[in-house]
């Protein structure tokens, strides 16, 4: 298990990172050491490294040697440990650059989860472009739950669509031309939506079915 040996200059925790901040403070309070458990892609690796670099008692970084496209091709940078060490990216933001060609050819669907994150990231130009061009315009599977609607709404993708969302986001949906439906699962073409995490048992199956169909079509087109 490699150790993060260099903190990124100017790394800060904002109000968007309250939970990690709380965890770090709690670890320090009880005198424990911190080890993350999130290594699914170079993006999450970079995010974890930035967070761990701000925590005084974070000494261990859990890495993965899984051989998968997401591990090696999602970003142009290779986030790998060398001789037991892994370096925190020191460029702006997370310090990694997405491989657009890989994204266009590999990703078959997108899921917009809830919480406060959509409110903060919905004005990101790359996210809006990917949402519109890679998923809605190409009719790929899209799922949204709770506050997740704020992203496709901001991207101009909900006009004329029927969607479920948390009631407090009903206005966001309707002001952008969508129709609010107060049901645990709403399927409108390639779009699956639900109100909150309490509806997981109702909509996840529909979402997975769309993903399987899209994946099968993708593999067939490759051959």
* Under 8 Å between Cβ of 95 and 43: no
Please give the full DSSP string across 24-74, using - where no structure is assigned. HHHHHHHT--EE----SSHHHHHHHHHHHTT-TTEEE--------HHHHTS
* Under 8 Å between Cβ of 173 and 151: no
Helix (H) or strand (E) holding 144: strand 142-145
Catalytic residue chosen out of the listed positions 37, 147, 198, 200: 147
> Catalytic annotation on 147?
yes
Helix (H) or strand (E) holding 4: strand 3-4
Sign of CA dihedral 151, 199, 218, 213: negative
Instruction: Please list the alpha-helical segments (H only) found in the chain.
Output: 18-30, 42-52, 69-72, 100-106, 117-121, 125-129, 150-154, 170-175, 200-222
Torsion angles phi and psi, residue 210, rounded to 5: -65, -40
Torsion angles phi and psi, residue 90, rounded to 5: -115, 15
Active site residues: 147
């Amino acid at each position: 298990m490699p150790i993060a040996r260099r903190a990124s200059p100017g790394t800060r925790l904002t109000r968007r990172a309250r939970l990690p901040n709380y965890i770090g403070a709690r670890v320090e309070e009880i005198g424990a050491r911190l080890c993350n458990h999130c290594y699914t892609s170079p993006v999450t690796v970079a995010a974890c490294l930035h967070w761990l670099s701000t925590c005084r008692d974070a000494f261990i970084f859990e890495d993965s040697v899984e051989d998968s496209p997401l591990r090696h091709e999602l970003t142009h940078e290779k986030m790998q440990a060398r001789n037991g060490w892994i370096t925190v990216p020191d460029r702006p933001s997370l310090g990694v650059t997405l491989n657009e060609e890989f994204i266009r050819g590999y990703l078959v669907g997108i899921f917009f989860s809830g919480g406060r994150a959509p409110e903060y990231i919905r004005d990101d130009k790359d996210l809006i472009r990917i949402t519109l061009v890679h998923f809605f315009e190409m009719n790929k599977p899209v799922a949204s739950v709770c506050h997740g609607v704020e992203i496709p709404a901001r991207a101009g993708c909900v006009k004329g669509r029927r969607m479920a969302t948390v009631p407090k986001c009903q206005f966001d949906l309707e002001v952008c031309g969508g129709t609010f439906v107060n049901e645990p699962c709403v399927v409108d073409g390639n779009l699956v939506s639900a109100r909150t995490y309490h509806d997981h048992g109702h909509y996840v199956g529909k979402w997975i079915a769309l993903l399987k169909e899209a994946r099968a079509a993708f593999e067939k087109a490759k051959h």
